[in-house]
Structure 1
Amino acid sequence: MTLHLFICKNSDEGGLVNLRVVARHYCGNMMRKLVFNQRYFGEGKSDGGPGFEEEEYVEPIFTFLAHIYSFCISDYLSFLRGLDQDGHEKIVEMKKCQYPIIEDRIRQWIDGKKVEPQDLLDVLISLTDHNGAPLLSTNEIKAEISEIMVAAADNSSNVLEWTLVEMLNKPETLEKTINEINNVVGKDKLVQESDFPQVNYVKACAREAFRLHPIAPFNLPHVSETDTTMAGYFISKGIKGRKWCL
C-alpha cells in the first residue's frame, strides 16, 4: 500500500494524519529509492503506514539534524575530539542504517555481480579515473550518501509542511489548488510529470512557499524599503515578505 493510499485510508475513516511524519517519511523514502533503489513505506503495516524498518531509518536522520548545530565542546577544543565529552556521538547513529548497504554494494561491484548502474549509489561506486581506478574511496562514498540523505529529507519535508500549513490558513487557496489538480489530473490517478505545465496555480503556490519559507536565509532585509516594481508587480514601501498573497 502506497503513501497516497495510507493518507486516503486515514482521511476516509475520519482519522488524523500527522503531516510532519508523512512528509518526513515520504521525502526519506523518495531519496532512498533514488540512492539505494529501495523503498520501505507501507511494508509491514496493514494501514500502509511506516513500518519498523522505515522508522528506524528516518529517526536517526532527524536526530542527527537536531544535534548538528548544538553546542559541542570539541568544536572549540579540537584536542577533545574522539572523547565524545557531550555524548553526541552515542546519540547520533546513522552508520547501521546505510553503511551495510553501501559496503555490500561495493562488494557486488568488486565481485562482478553488478556491471550497470541502477541508482545513485551505483553511479558513485562506478566512477573511475583515466587509469580505471575508483575515483571515490569507501569513506568518501559513505560521506556523500549521508550528506544527500540528510539534506534531502530535511529541507524537502520542511517546505512541504510549511506549504500545507499556509494553505490551511487560507482555505480559498487550498480549494483552488484542489480544483486545479482535479480538473487537470482527475481523481482516479496520480500526478504525472506531463501534468506540470498545466497546473500553474499549484506551481505558483509552491514558489510562494519557497519565498515565505526558504530553506536557507537570504536577502536578510526582508522588506521593501521603497515603492518599487519587480517582474511586473508593484511592491509598496514597508511590505514584508511574510504575507501569503495568492
Structure 2
Amino acid sequence: MEMIGYAASALGLVLLFMLSKLILLLYQPQNKLNLPPSPPAWPLIGHLHLLGTLPHQSLAKIACKYGPLVFLRLGTVPTVVVSNEALAREFLKTYDQIFASRPRMLAGKILLYNYKDVAWSQYGPYWRDIRKICLLELFTPARMEASKHIRIEEAYSMVKSIRNNCEGSKVVDVHSQIYGLTRSIIARMVLNRNYFASNSKEALEFKEIVNEYFQLIGVINLGDFIPYVGLLDIQGYKRRMMTARKRMDSIMDKIVQEHQEKKTGVSTDASLDFVDVLLSLRNNKDYQHLSMDSIKAVVVDMLAAGTDTSALTIEWALSEILVNPWVQEKAQQELDHVVGRERKVEEADLPQLKYLQSIVKETFRLHPAGPFLVPHESTQAVQVTGYDIPAKTRLLVNAWAIGRDPSKWERALEFSPDRFLNSNIDVRGHDFELIPFGSGRRACPGLSLGLTSVQLGLAVLLQSFEWSLPSAHEKLDMSEVFGLTLPKVVPLHAMATPRLPHHLY
C-alpha cells in the first residue's frame, strides 16, 4: 500500500509538472508576433471549447465576428482558419509550398502506416514519389479509359437493384445503394475484386474494417491537440486504431500475396488494377521510396477517400433535388435531349450534360465532402497579409464557409444550379471560391475519378427514375454530421419510379 501511495504521489507530481509546462507554452508572451485576430482562450485547452459538435459552422460564426483570418490555439496546436476566397488563394497558391505539409496526427501514424499514404504524408521526397505514382501511373487518362467499363457496370448494377427494390411502391434505401456503388467501383479498380458485393465471411470482415477506418480517420482525438492527454488515451481511440490496423494489415497482406501469386497473362498495362501497378513499381529506380507499407497505405487511402466522398456528394445532390423538384425536371429534360430514353447514359455523354455538371458544382458549394479539406501545416514562419504565421502552424481552409460566403454568392444559402450555367468557375483548384478537391501541391490526385464517378452516378439515377419523397407532406432532414467528411444525419430514403423502357433495366 505504501508503494502505491508513493507511485500516486509521483504520478501527481509528473502531471503537475506537465500542466505547468503546458500553461507556460500556451501563455508565453507573443508580443513580438503580429498574430491574426483571436477569440479569448481558456487555460490548457485554448480554443478547443469553441469548436462544438459542428466545428465548420462554429468557426464560420467566429469568422463573422473576428474576420476571415482567425488565429486559434487548439490545445497546444497553433492554428489559422481561413474563411474566404481571397485568403484561400493566398495560403494555397501564393504560399502553397510553405503550407504543403501535413500535421502529424494519430490516425495517420497508426492507420496509414506511419504517414505512408498520399493524403497525410509529410511534404518532401517521399510525398513527391507517391504523388508522382498517382499522377503518372494510377490516375492517367489511359487507365481511366480502361476502367470505364467498371464504372458503367456498377452504375447499372445499382439501377437494376433499385428497380427490383422499388416494385410495389417500396421505399428505396438510397444511401446504401449509392455507397454500394462507389465502394464497388473502387474495390474493382484498386483490388480487381468486389468485396462489397459478397456476403462471405471474408467480405463481411472487409466491409466492417473499412467502416471502422472511415470512423477513426474522422474522429476528433484530443491527444492530437493536447499531447499529455494523448498518453492516457481517455477516449480509447488509440486502442481502437491499433486493433483496426492489425485487422487491416492482415487483410492487406492477403491481398498483396494474391496479387503477387496471380498470373496476369496477356493483360495490358492499362488493364491492371492499382495493386498490380504498385507492385510492379517496387523495383523501379524512379520510385525508390515505395515500400510494402507504402502500397498498403495508398490502397487504404483509395478505399477511404474514393468511396466516402463520392457517395456522400451524390446523396447530398439527390437530397437537394428532392427539396427542389424543379431541378429534377430540368435535369431530366436535358438527359432526354442529349441521351434520349432509348439508350442508357454513358460516360461519353457527361461533357454535354451542362446542367447536370451545374448540379454537381452547386452540391460541392453547399456540401463540400471535406469541410476543412485535409489540414495543412506550415514548414516555416511566414507573413501573410501582414500577419505573422509561426512555423508548424496548422491551416484549416473552411471550404464550407467559403461556399456560403454572401459577399461572393447571391442567395448563398439557396440551392440553385443555374448560377453555374454561364459561369467559368470549375472545381479543379483554380477557382478558390469552389475548391472541394483542394488546390496546389496537395490537391486531390484522384480528382478526375471522383468527379466522373459523381457525375455518372447522379446521371444514371436521374435518367432511370423519377424521385420523390415517401410522403408529400414529409420534410427532408438536411442536417449533417461532422467528421473528416460531412454525411447526412439521417440517411436518404426515397421513392423511385422507373421512367425508361423495361429492357433498359
Question: Normalization by structure 1: what TM-score?
Answer: 0.75
SS in 1 for 2:184: helix
Q: 2:173 aligns with which of 11, 18, 21?
A: 18
Q: CA deviation at 1:178?
A: 2.2
User: What's the counterpart of residue 8 of structure 1?
Assistant: 163
Q: 1:100 aligns with which of 245, 249, 254?
A: 254
8 Å CA contact 1:167–1:173 kept in 2: the answer is: yes
1:1-246 alignment runs, 5 A limit = 2-39=157-194, 55-70=204-219, 72=221, 75=224, 76-77=227-228, 87-89=239-241, 90=243, 93-108=247-262, 113-114=263-264, 117=269, 118-128=272-282, 136-217=290-371, 218-219=398-399, 220=401, 222-225=404-407, 239-240=411-412, 242-246=413-417
8 Å CA contact 2:278–2:295 kept in 1: the answer is: yes
From the superposition, tell whether residues 38 and 183 of structure 1 become closer, same or farther in structure 2 (CA, over 3 Å): farther
Q: Name the amino acid aligned to 1:88.
A: R
User: What's the counterpart of residue 232 of structure 1?
Assistant: none
8 Å CA contact 2:184–2:194 kept in 1: the answer is: yes
User: What's the counterpart of residue 48 of structure 1?
Assistant: none
Question: What is the number of equivalent residue pairs in this alignment?
Answer: 223
From the superposition, tell whether residues 52 and 183 of structure 1 become closer, same or farther in structure 2 (CA, over 3 Å): farther
Q: CA deviation at 1:142?
A: 0.5
Q: CA deviation at 1:184?
A: 2.3
Q: Which moved more, 1:154-163 or 1:215-224?
A: 215-224
Superposed structure 1 runs of 4+ greater than 4 Å apart: 40-44, 51-56, 71-75, 77-81, 128-135
User: What's the counterpart of residue 231 of structure 1?
Assistant: none
Q: CA deviation at 1:206?
A: 0.9
8 Å CA contact 2:195–2:206 kept in 1: the answer is: no
**Alpha-carbon distance in 1 for matches of 2:285, 2:202:** 40
From the superposition, tell whether residues 156 and 130 of structure 1 become closer, same or farther in structure 2 (CA, over 3 Å): closer
**Alpha-carbon distance in 2 for matches of 1:12, 1:85:** 43
8 Å CA contact 1:33–1:39 kept in 2: the answer is: yes
8 Å CA contact 1:24–1:58 kept in 2: the answer is: no
**Higher Cα Rg: structure 1 or 2?**
2
Q: CA deviation at 1:203?
A: 1.1
**Alpha-carbon distance in 1 for matches of 2:250, 2:284:** 33
From the superposition, tell whether residues 91 and 184 of structure 1 become closer, same or farther in structure 2 (CA, over 3 Å): same
Structure 1 unaligned regions, length at least 5: 45-50, 229-234
**Alpha-carbon distance in 1 for matches of 2:340, 2:219:** 46
Q: CA deviation at 1:53?
A: 6.0
Structure 2 unaligned regions, length at least 5: 1-155, 372-397, 418-505
8 Å CA contact 2:183–2:196 kept in 1: the answer is: no
Q: CA deviation at 1:200?
A: 1.4
From the superposition, tell whether residues 167 and 73 of structure 1 become closer, same or farther in structure 2 (CA, over 3 Å): closer
Q: For 1:120-141, what per-residue CA distance to the aligned partner results, in whole angstroms no more than 9, with x for missing partners?
A: 1111111155659976222110
**Alpha-carbon distance in 2 for matches of 1:97, 1:175:** 45
Q: Name the amino acid aligned to 1:140.
A: S
Superposed CA RMSD: 3.2
8 Å CA contact 1:36–1:119 kept in 2: the answer is: yes
SS in 2 for 1:94: helix
Q: Name the amino acid aligned to 1:114.
A: T
Question: Normalization by structure 2: what TM-score?
Answer: 0.39
Overall identity of the aligned pairs, in %? 25
